[in-house]
Every structure is written in C-alpha cells, then in structure tokens.
Homo-oligomer: A and B are copies of this chain.
Amino acid sequence: MGTGRLEAFSDGVFAIAITLLILTVDLSHAGSGRLAERLLQLWPSYVAYGVSFLTIGIMWANHHDLFRQIGRTDRTLVLLNLMLLMLIAFIPFPTRVVAEFARSGDERRAAALLYGITLTTTAIFFLALWLYASFRGRLLHERADPRTVSGITRSYLPGAPTYGLATLLAFVSPITSLVMFGAIAVFYALSSSLFGRTGDQPTTV
C-alpha cells in the first residue's frame, strides 16, 4: 500500500488541529474591565497559541520528512500514525488549559504538567513510528540513503528526553517549564532555518 492517502489524511489532521488552536484564544479567559485591558490580559493565550502553532508546524514538517523516506505502509504503521495523530489533535486542549491558567500561581504547575506530558508522549510516538518504519529498512524506499536514515534517527532521539526534562521542571518551577516549551519550539524552528538542513542533521521533534 502506498503512502499517498495516509499522508493526505495526516496533513488534513495537522492542518485542522493547528487551525483549531485559535479556539484557545477566548476573551472569556480575561477578567472584566475595558476591552483594551482584557485584550492585553490575554497575552498568555497569544503566547500559547504561537508556541503550539510553531510546535505543530514543526511536527508537520518532520512528518513530511519522515514520509519522504518511507515508501510503503502496513497496518502497524497506519496504527502508529493514528496514535500520533490522536496526540497531535489533542494539543489544542492543553494549549487552552495553559492559556487559561498560566497567570494563576496556584494552577500553573498542573497546566505545565498537562502540556508537557502531551508533548513528551507525542515525541515518543514520533520516535516509535520512525523506529518501526526504519528498523532494518522495513518500510523505507529502496532508494533511501542510509546516512540520511541514521541521521534522522540520531536527531530524533533527544526529542522525548528534552520534553520530558522540561515537564519534570514543572515540579521545581512551572514558569521555567513553560518558557522551556517555547524555547524548544523556537530553537527547532530557527536552528533548522538558519543553518540549513543536510542529510544527516534533520530537525528533530
């Protein structure tokens, strides 16, 4: 079975999940007062929207890169991909919770943990999908370059531990944890653009 319709379906879910993030930005999360003040009070919503948009966008680009190496699918890959999409389509929920509670000193920790657990699990499924597809070249194109393949593997390995550490950081300092999630997204976005992209240094999740 080719990968065309699977990629198209995945692209659809990525595009819808990323666009639904706007429902995160909700005026009812701001207190009362003049509209101008309420719009300014919403700044955590704008930041959360931006960080999650960047994160899902990078994941989409990575998904694209993976499937350029993958030449065929089997039912396990379809299932792993479905689990991955289930996590990506879930991201609007923790984004909304962070947007609503980031300014609350009492509740910030729970919001950061929810956000971090979601992204860590997503990174794990990303890695699992890739390891399944690339193990002994199981589902790769015949023309897949071994150096590119091992380069992708190397670059994906730090993703889940990095998100995991940022999540654990929430027990010490929820604010630092949230800042880390933003920094990770910006780092991946900028590093891959500024320094270009070679076969053995692809963007990681």
Residues of A within 8 A of B (CB): 5, 7-9, 11-23, 25, 27, 34-36, 39, 49-50, 53-54, 57, 60-61, 64, 74-76, 78-79, 82, 85-86, 89-90, 92-93, 96-97, 100-101, 104, 106-107, 109-111, 113-114, 189-190, 192-194, 196-197, 203
Contact = CB atoms under 8 A, between A and B. Distances in A.
Contacts of A203: 75
Given A19-B13, A97-B39, A78 B61 contact: yes
A152 to B, nearest CB: 15
Nearest to A12: B15
Contacts of A82: 53-54, 57, 189
5 contacts: A20-B22, A34-B110, A53-B85, A74-B193, A79-B193
B19 A16 contact: yes
Pick the most buried of A15, A86, A89, A113: most chain B CB atoms within 10 A of its CB. Answer: A15
B20 A15 contact: no
Contacts of A18: 13, 85, 89
A203 B96 CA distance: 36
A39 B110 CA distance: 8
Contact of A11 (B8, B25, B97, B106): B8
A198 B19 CA distance: 33
Given A9-B11, A11-B8, A97 B20 contact: no
A92 B49 CA distance: 13
Contact of A60 (B9, B61, B76, B107): B9
Contacts of A14: 9
A39 B25 CA distance: 20
A94 to B, nearest CB: 9
Contacts of A17: 19, 22
B192 A75 contact: yes
